[in-house]
């Protein structure tokens, strides 16, 4: 990894080490960040390989085996309809994770483009955009989502769009701040003086230098959207009943919490580990690239 | 003085009259990088007698700042003392408890950091910051601390001390901040002041003022000063003795005057040969290339690879010792094995790259009546930022814009590059002659922003930036940066790569560097890459904005040499922006002196600087600048320091131009009340082409008689 030898260690000692490899190394070197990455990877593998991992079908009911406590045949027991809790937990992240990945890609993608543009163009474009964002940011995320979902229905596309609209403003703000510290630098000035296309300048000169912020934003938005989607399901605005979904499972099983706690605790643990994992990974990434974790928004 | 003798003298008697205030013995500092220990300082000895001023000079990375930190008991995180000790007033700093250390730091030794602007807390009033030292260090109560702070601010010659106490750092200028930092340094009544690059980044006039202040403080307070600097002019002006460091070791030490006149170590010679002289009409010869390597990475003398005197013996261990060698006077030491031989050779400082008389081509750029106004609404108290600029640059000609910060130099360059809109004036770029490919006909209007100019005109003007660190995208390879402007030429793919390699060869970078990231290049290489990017599009005019001011002297000399070669080779016109008059004198053909966005004086280098580099007939502002230049020659004292002849009301630049009259009148000592502040100054021409905008008659501006005796 350190295959780079400069002819002048004395002179370059001040400069940064080559950053790409350095980031990866310090990410791998941090036990906390690695924990996060492993947790997230576990969840991804679980969601993708669910059909092979789950011992039972997640929707097959079996009234005779209903409300069974953990045993050798049902490791996490069964719920009130006799469905295997473990299988439902393994399947239950698919819905929320897919929605959150798509919504996070959209909100971070749009946010990055608009944030860089605001920093690059400044002036009235920046001013108007910021005032719009202020308006959007003043509405609580879950409230906005509830309104949208109750008007337009709880389909996945609706949730994705709503989450994108809700989270985009915070991303724009963060990327704009990051890009502003780059826009004034001489290599951007040089690109302006060459008369480069603004978007080409943004992609070539600015984006590589805010990419760290973008990645951290992505990890954090993804974790928030997972939580948001699960909350919606819990409130009854997300996935519809037979679908295995963590939020829905908690909602359905909470009345049985004293009888078969695992039916509710299982999905809670799954959700918590995913979110903790995403946050640890984001933190580790942020530290590895030497930027502060940006909190705020929802 | 002999280091060894002093040491033993102290240990034996302990009550010697001249007990050194600071004593560094065989100091070795290393820092841990991964699993390796990397030495930063090796066997450094330093003795500072009370009241003595000692300079530590060397280029970046030589360990001089580490030494300065060690003198106040501070090491960077990860560093540790591997050997040796640092005694301040007989107390070992690195064996002192926290409380002892605090007492030493508040009373015996004080540190003035490099960048006062960053060293002061931005959210605290400067009065409170100095108050902390007085109250906690010297146990004063609030009222006494305030009175003392006012006294100290007066001592460092800050105007209206009682009002300044309530200001925040951002409300002060760079020079004022430096003065505040010095005041905080001397607040604890120390015996030793350690200063890290006190003049770097300040305007020449301010620099001269700060140095005059330091000399004054040393004399009145009996302070010992350790001055860490790469500015040899400042060292020559202020210091009794100097240490030259290279690659973590002291390579030569002795009295400043002797080191300047007869440098014994080849590195000292190289440094002196790299500094542009205002007195010499040409560029410095510099020293052979290569960057310094870390201590202990190769056997023998670390300087041997760059040394023209090096022999076989130089590259064998052990490392040559720092000792008094034959033919050196008693007080001097050198680490060069061939001292005797080196001393027998003539000093290179007398040499400069000869200036060949040049033929200039037709006019490339003509600017008439340029005005740039940043004010959002008309304001009776000030005028436009830049006004009434007339300029002409011919092919193969270097026109220098000089002035202090805020003089509008960069604004003019940025306007020409199409990054600022002028509010008035005509800016025209003329086509290059000699049947060029692409056949650009007509002229280009440079009042248009860059994006609206036709590509073939856009490529004719290229910017080179001051700071090589920020002029290249850290995430893109150097080759990529250089290849990008080729699109303006319509080159892509293989053709572009061929052209890129050509440009790399032009600026003296190996082609293999194309795949490197900027962080993997040294400062000088990065600046060369920046020049390569500007050259890639085959421009006619380069706008060079302070391109060498952030570089070490040896690198600076080689980059200046490169710029000089390139303009001859490609018949380039340069608009060279600089505040270092010695550099300008070396490179430029014509000089335009700006003050607050107005031209004060313009003419050929010889007209403006005179034959001796000290000027003859000049605008009062040019004179002030020239007087502030510190030539790296002991004895060549900057005359602004001479209290008997103050030529300005303040050594601080102003920020806003006046609405009418001469821009300089508020600072001018020779101003005519009622004329200078109401009427625009007339143009006076001592010789054809030498224009001075001043109300004073030429006889009053002619100082040629007085100059000869000084230099």
Nearest Cα residue in chain B from A209: B475
**Range scoring the smallest mean pLDDT among B283-297, B607-621, B677-691:** B283-297
Nearest Cα residue in chain A from B453: A195
B480 C-beta neighbours (distance < 10 Å), count: 17
Q: How far is B248 from chain A (nearest CA, A)?
A: 10
Assign 3-state DSSP to chain A and report helix, strand, coil percentages, each to 5.
Answer: 70, 0, 25
Rounded CA gap, B304 and B122, in Å? 45
Among A186, A191, A202, A290, the strongest candidate for a mutation testing the B interface, having the largest count of B CBs within 10 A, is A186
Q: What angle do CA B681, B686, B691 make, to 5 degrees?
A: 45
Among B522, B534, B550, the strongest candidate for a mutation testing the A interface, having the largest count of A CBs within 10 A, is B522
Nearest Cα residue in chain B from A198: B451
Inter-chain CB proximity A10 and B467 less than 8 Å: no
Q: What angle do CA B321, B325, B331 make, to 5 degrees?
A: 100
B81 C-beta neighbours (distance < 10 Å), count: 17
Q: Are strands B590-595 and B691-693 parallel, antiparallel or unpaired?
A: unpaired
Assign 3-state DSSP to chain B and report helix, strand, coil percentages, each to 5.
Answer: 35, 20, 45
Inter-chain CB proximity B419 and A16 less than 8 Å: no
Q: Which of B291, B458, B471 sits opposite A186 (nearest CB)?
A: B471
Rounded CA gap, B589 and B566, in Å? 15
Across B310-319, B545-554, B677-686, which has the greatest mean pLDDT?
B677-686
Q: Which of B62, B290, B473 sits opposite A205 (nearest CB)?
A: B473
Asked if residues B605 and B358 have their Cβ atoms less than 8 Å apart, the reply is no
Q: Please, what's the largest Cα pairwise distance for chain B?
A: 85
What tokens does B42 get? 């090796």
pLDDT, tens digit, 9 for 90 and up, residues B10-19: 444 444 456 8
DSSP labels, B313-382: GGGSSSPPP-B--TTS-TT-EE--TTHHHHHHSPPGGG-EE--------SEEEEEEEEEE---SS--TT-
Inter-chain CB proximity B462 and A189 less than 8 Å: no
Asked if residues B530 and B507 have their Cβ atoms less than 8 Å apart, the reply is no
Rounded CA gap, B518 and A192, in Å? 20
Q: Are strands B573-578 and B590-595 parallel, antiparallel or unpaired?
A: unpaired
pLDDT, tens digit, 9 for 90 and up, residues B92-147: 888 888 888 888 887 889 999 888 878 888 899 999 999 988 888 888 888 999 99
Inter-chain CB proximity A9 and B294 less than 8 Å: yes
- Higher model confidence: residue B520 or residue B472? B472
DSSP labels, B662-683: -TTTTTBTT--TTTTTTSPPPE
B98 C-beta neighbours (distance < 10 Å), count: 7
- B residues 88-117 lying closer than 8 A (beta carbon) to A: none
Q: Which of B291, B459, B467 sits opposite A186 (nearest CB)?
A: B467
Alpha-carbon separation of residue B651 from A205, B148, B150, B234, B253 (angstroms): 40, 24, 20, 16, 33
pLDDT tops 80 at residue B351: no
Quick one: which of B127, B155, B128 has its CA closest to B223?
A: B155
Nearest Cα residue in chain B from A184: B470
Report chain A residues whose CB lies below 8 A from the CB of B522. Answer: 6-8, 11-12
Inter-chain CB proximity B522 and A12 less than 8 Å: yes
- A residues 126-155 lying closer than 8 A (beta carbon) to B: none
DSSP symbol at B511: G
Rounded CA gap, A207 and A214, in Å? 9
Question: What would the mean pLDDT of B245-263 be, rounded to a whole number?
Answer: 89
pLDDT, tens digit, 9 for 90 and up, residues B192-216: 999 988 888 788 888 888 888 888 8
Inter-chain CB proximity B474 and A194 less than 8 Å: no
Q: What phi, psi does B334 have (nearest 5°)?
A: -145, 150
Q: What phi, psi does A155 have (nearest 5°)?
A: -65, 155
DSSP labels, A28-94: HH-HHHHHHHHHHHHHHHHHHTHHHH-SS-SS---GGG-S----SSSTT-B-TT--BHHHHHHHHHH
Partner A contacted by B675 (CB < 8 A): no
pTM of the predicted structure, to 2 decimals: 0.81
Q: Give buried/exposed letters for B347-379 (b at 16+ CB in 10 A, else e).
A: bbbeebbebeeeebbeebbbbeebbbbeeeeee
The predicted pLDDT at position B433 comes to: 62
Residue B31: in which H helix or E strand, if any? strand B22-33
Question: What would the mean pLDDT of B586-597 be, rounded to a whole number?
Answer: 91
pLDDT, tens digit, 9 for 90 and up, residues B39-82: 888 899 999 998 899 999 988 878 888 899 899 888 887 888 88
What tokens does B328 get? 């050196």
| ipTM entry | 0.78
Q: Which residue has the tokens 């052209």?
A: B499
Inter-chain CB proximity A209 and B473 less than 8 Å: yes
Rounded CA gap, B173 and B196, in Å? 19
Rounded CA gap, A170 and A112, in Å? 10
Burial environment of residue A250 by CB neighbours within 10 A (0 to 12, 13 to 18, 19 or more): buried
Q: Are strands B590-595 and B683-684 parallel, antiparallel or unpaired?
A: unpaired
Q: How far is A81 from chain B (nearest CA, A)?
A: 56
Q: How far is A187 from chain B (nearest CA, A)?
A: 4
Q: Is residue B10 classed as helix, strand or coil in its secondary structure? A: helix
Contacts 24+ apart (CB under 8 A), A75-83: A76/A262, A76/A263, A76/A266, A77/A260, A77/A262, A77/A263, A78/A260, A78/A263, A79/A249, A79/A252, A79/A253, A79/A256, A79/A260, A79/A263, A80/A252, A80/A253, A80/A256, A80/A263, A83/A56, A83/A58, A83/A59
Report chain A residues whose CB lies below 8 A from the CB of B293. Answer: 8-10
Outline where DSSP puts E strands in B403-522: 424-429, 444-445, 461-464
Outline where DSSP puts E strands in chain A: none
Rounded CA gap, B18 and B49, in Å? 6
Rounded CA gap, A295 and B694, in Å? 59
Rounded CA gap, A78 and A74, in Å? 7
Rounded CA gap, B596 and B293, in Å? 43
Inter-chain CB proximity B519 and A17 less than 8 Å: yes
Rounded CA gap, B539 and B485, in Å? 10
What tokens does B86 get? 């640092």
Within a 13 Å sphere around the CA of B580, how many CA atoms are in the beta-carbon half?
26
Residue B269: in which H helix or E strand, if any? helix B266-274
Among B248, B474, B547, B553, the strongest candidate for a mutation testing the A interface, having the largest count of A CBs within 10 A, is B474
- B residues 405-464 lying closer than 8 A (beta carbon) to A: 417-419, 450-453, 455, 458-459, 461-463
Partner B contacted by A6 (CB < 8 A): yes
The predicted pLDDT at position A14 comes to: 34
**Position B298 confidence tier, pLDDT thresholds 50, 70, 90:** confident
Partner B contacted by A194 (CB < 8 A): yes
Partner B contacted by A123 (CB < 8 A): no
Q: How far is A78 from chain B (nearest CA, A)?
A: 53
Report chain B residues whose CB lies below 8 A from the CB of A205. Answer: 473, 476
Average predicted confidence (pLDDT) for chain B: 83
Asked if residues A264 and A253 have their Cβ atoms less than 8 Å apart, the reply is yes
Report chain A residues whose CB lies below 8 A from the CB of B290. Answer: 7-8
Q: How far is A214 from chain B (nearest CA, A)?
A: 15
pLDDT, tens digit, 9 for 90 and up, residues B371-430: 988 877 777 778 888 888 999 999 989 999 998 887 888 889 989 988 888 988 888 888
Number of A–B residue contacts, CB under 8 Å? 111
The predicted pLDDT at position B664 comes to: 87
Q: Which residue has the tokens 């450094």?
A: B44
Partner A contacted by B511 (CB < 8 A): no
Q: Which of A10, A17, A194 sits opposite B458 (nearest CB)?
A: A194
Rounded CA gap, B518 and B657, in Å? 39
Inter-chain CB proximity A14 and B450 less than 8 Å: no
Q: Which residue has the tokens 């250390």?
A: B101
Quick one: which of A94, A95, A76 has its CA closest to A86?
A: A76
A10 C-beta neighbours (distance < 10 Å), count: 23
Asked if residues B667 and B625 have their Cβ atoms less than 8 Å apart, the reply is no
Partner A contacted by B18 (CB < 8 A): no
Q: How far is B269 from chain A (nearest CA, A)?
A: 20
Inter-chain CB proximity B451 and A193 less than 8 Å: no
Inter-chain CB proximity A18 and B523 less than 8 Å: no
The predicted pLDDT at position B342 comes to: 84
pLDDT tops 70 at residue B272: yes
Partner A contacted by B227 (CB < 8 A): no
The predicted pLDDT at position A296 comes to: 37
Nearest Cα residue in chain A from B480: A204
Q: What is the pLDDT along chain A (298 residues), one digit of tens a residue?
A: 333 333 333 333 333 334 445 566 666 667 888 888 899 999 999 888 888 887 888 777 777 777 777 777 777 777 777 788 888 888 888 888 888 899 999 999 999 999 999 999 988 999 999 999 998 888 887 888 888 888 888 788 888 888 888 889 989 999 999 999 889 888 998 888 888 889 999 998 999 888 888 888 888 888 888 888 888 888 888 777 777 888 888 888 888 778 778 888 888 999 999 999 988 888 887 777 655 444 433 3
Report chain B residues whose CB lies below 8 A from the CB of A186. Answer: 465-467, 470-471
The predicted pLDDT at position A3 comes to: 36
Asked if residues B564 and B276 have their Cβ atoms less than 8 Å apart, the reply is no
Quick one: which of A267, A237, A262 has its CA closest to A249?
A: A267
Alpha-carbon separation of residue B488 from B281, B492, B501, B534 (angstroms): 38, 10, 17, 12
Rounded CA gap, B484 and B3, in Å? 56
Q: Which of B472, B473, B522 sits opposite A11 (nearest CB)?
A: B522
Q: How far is B226 from chain A (nearest CA, A)?
A: 23
- Higher model confidence: residue B20 or residue B705? B20
Q: How far is A233 from chain B (nearest CA, A)?
A: 43
- A residues 202-231 lying closer than 8 A (beta carbon) to B: 204-205, 208-209, 211
pLDDT tops 80 at residue B300: yes
Rounded CA gap, A51 and A53, in Å? 6
Inter-chain CB proximity A193 and B462 less than 8 Å: yes
Quick one: which of B545, B664, B546, B680 has its CA closest to B596?
A: B664
């Amino acid at each position: 990894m350190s295959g780079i030898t400069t002819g002048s260690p004395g002179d370059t000692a001040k400069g940064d080490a080559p950053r790409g490899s350095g980031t990866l190394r310090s990410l791998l070197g941090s036990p906390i960040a690695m924990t996060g990455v492993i947790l997230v990877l576990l969840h991804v593998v679980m969601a993708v390989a669910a059909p092979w991992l789950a011992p039972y079908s997640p929707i097959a009911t079996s009234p005779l085996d209903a409300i069974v406590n953990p045993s050798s045949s049902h490791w996490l027991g069964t719920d009130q309809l006799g469905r295997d809790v473990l299988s439902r937990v393994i399947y239950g992240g698919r819905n929320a994770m897919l929605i959150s990945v798509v919504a996070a890609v959209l909100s971070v993608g749009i946010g990055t483009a608009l944030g860089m543009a605001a920093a690059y163009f400044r002036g009235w474009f920046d001013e108007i955009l910021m005032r719009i964002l202020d308006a959007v940011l003043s509405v609580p995320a879950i409230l906005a989502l509830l309104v949208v979902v109750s008007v337009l229905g709880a389909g996945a596309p609706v949730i994705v769009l709503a989450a994108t609209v809700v989270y985009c403003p915070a991303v724009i703000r963060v990327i704009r701040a990051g890009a502003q510290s780059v826009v004034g630098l001489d290599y951007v000035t040089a690109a302006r003086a060459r008369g480069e296309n603004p978007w080409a300048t943004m992609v070539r000169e600015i984006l590589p230098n805010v990419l760290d912020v973008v990645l951290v934003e992505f990890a954090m938005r993804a974790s928030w959207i997972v939580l948001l989607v699960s909350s919606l399901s819990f409130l009854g605005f997300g996935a519809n009943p037979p679908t295995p979904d963590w939020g829905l499972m908690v909602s359905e099983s909470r009345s049985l919490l004293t009888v078969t706690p695992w039916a509710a605790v299982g999905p809670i643990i799954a959700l918590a580990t995913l979110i903790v994992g995403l946050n640890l990974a984001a933190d580790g990434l942020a530290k590895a690239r030497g930027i502060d974790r940006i909190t705020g928004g929802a | 003085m002999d280091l060894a003798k002093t040491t033993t003298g102290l240990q034996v008697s302990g009550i010697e009259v001249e007990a050194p205030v600071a004593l560094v013995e065989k100091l070795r500092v290393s820092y841990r990088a991964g699993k390796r220990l990397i030495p930063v300082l090796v066997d450094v000895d330093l003795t500072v007698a009370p009241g003595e001023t000692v300079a530590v000079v060397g280029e970046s990375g030589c360990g001089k700042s580490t030494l300065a930190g060690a003198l106040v008991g501070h090491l960077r995180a990860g560093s540790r003392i591997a050997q040796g000790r640092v005694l301040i007033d007989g107390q070992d700093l690195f064996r002192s408890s926290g409380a002892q250390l605090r007492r030493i730091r508040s009373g015996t030794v004080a540190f003035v950091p490099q960048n006062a602007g960053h060293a002061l807390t931005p959210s605290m009033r400067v009065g409170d910051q100095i108050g902390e030292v007085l109250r906690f260090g010297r146990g004063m109560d609030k009222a006494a601390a305030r009175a003392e702070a006012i006294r100290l601010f007066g001592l460092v010659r800050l105007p209206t001390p009682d009002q300044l106490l309530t200001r925040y750092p951002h409300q002060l200028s760079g020079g004022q901040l430096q003065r505040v930092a010095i005041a905080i340094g001397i607040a604890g009544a120390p015996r030793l002041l350690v200063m890290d690059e006190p003049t770097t980044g300040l305007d020449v006039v301010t620099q001269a003022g700060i140095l005059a202040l330091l000399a004054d403080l040393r004399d009145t307070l009996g302070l010992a000063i350790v001055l860490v600097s790469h500015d040899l002019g400042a060292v020559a002006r202020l210091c009794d003795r100097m240490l030259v460091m290279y690659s973590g070791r002291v390579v030569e030490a002795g009295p400043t005057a002797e080191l300047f006149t007869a440098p014994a170590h080849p590195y000292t010679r190289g440094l002196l040969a790299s500094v542009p002289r205002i007195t010499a009409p040409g560029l410095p010869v510099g020293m052979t290339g290569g960057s310094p390597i870390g201590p202990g990475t190769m056997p023998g003398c670390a300087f041997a690879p760059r040394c023209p005197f090096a022999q076989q013996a130089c590259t064998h261990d052990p490392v040559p010792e720092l000792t008094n060698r034959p033919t050196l006077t008693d007080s001097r030491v050198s680490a060069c094995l061939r001292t005797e031989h080196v001393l027998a050779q003539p000093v290179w400082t007398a040499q400069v790259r000869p200036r060949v008389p040049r033929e200039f081509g037709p006019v490339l750029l003509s600017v008439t009546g340029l005005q740039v106004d940043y004010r959002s609404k008309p304001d009776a108290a000030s005028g436009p930022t830049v006004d009434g600029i007339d300029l002409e640059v011919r092919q193969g000609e270097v026109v220098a814009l000089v002035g202090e910060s805020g003089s509008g130099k960069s604004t003019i360059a940025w306007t020409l590059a199409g990054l600022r809109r002028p509010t008035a004036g005509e800016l025209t770029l003329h086509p290059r002659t000699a049947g060029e490919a692409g056949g650009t006909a007509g002229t280009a209007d440079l009042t248009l922003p860059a994006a609206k100019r036709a590509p073939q005109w856009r490529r004719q003007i290229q910017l080179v930036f001051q700071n090589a660190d920020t002029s290249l995208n850290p995430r893109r390879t150097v080759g990529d940066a250089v290849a990008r402007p080729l699109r303006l030429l319509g080159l892509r793919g293989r053709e572009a790569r061929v052209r890129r390699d050509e440009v790399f060869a032009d600026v003296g970078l190996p082609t293999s560097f194309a795949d490197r990231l900027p962080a993997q290049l040294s400062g000088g290489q990065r600046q060369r890459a920046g020049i390569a990017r500007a050259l890639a599009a085959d421009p006619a005019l380069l706008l060079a904005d302070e391109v060498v001011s952030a570089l070490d002297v040896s690198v600076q000399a080689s980059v200046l040499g490169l710029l000089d070669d390139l303009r001859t080779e490609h018949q380039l016109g340069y608009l060279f922006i600089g505040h270092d008059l010695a550099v300008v004198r070396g490179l430029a053909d014509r000089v335009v002196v700006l003050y607050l966005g107005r031209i004060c004086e313009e003419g050929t280098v010889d007209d403006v600087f005179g034959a001796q580099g000290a000027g003859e007939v000049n605008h009062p502002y040019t004179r002030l600048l020239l007087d502030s230049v510190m030539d790296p020659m002991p004895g060549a004292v900057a005359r602004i320091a001479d209290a008997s002849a103050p030529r300005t009301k303040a050594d601080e630049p102003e920020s806003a131009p006046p609405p009418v009259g001469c821009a300089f009148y508020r600072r001018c000592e020779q101003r005519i009340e009622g004329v200078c502040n109401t009427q625009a100054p007339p143009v006076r021409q001592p010789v054809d082409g030498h224009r001075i905008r001043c109300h004073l008659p030429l006889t009053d501006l002619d100082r040629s008689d007085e100059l000869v005796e000084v230099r």
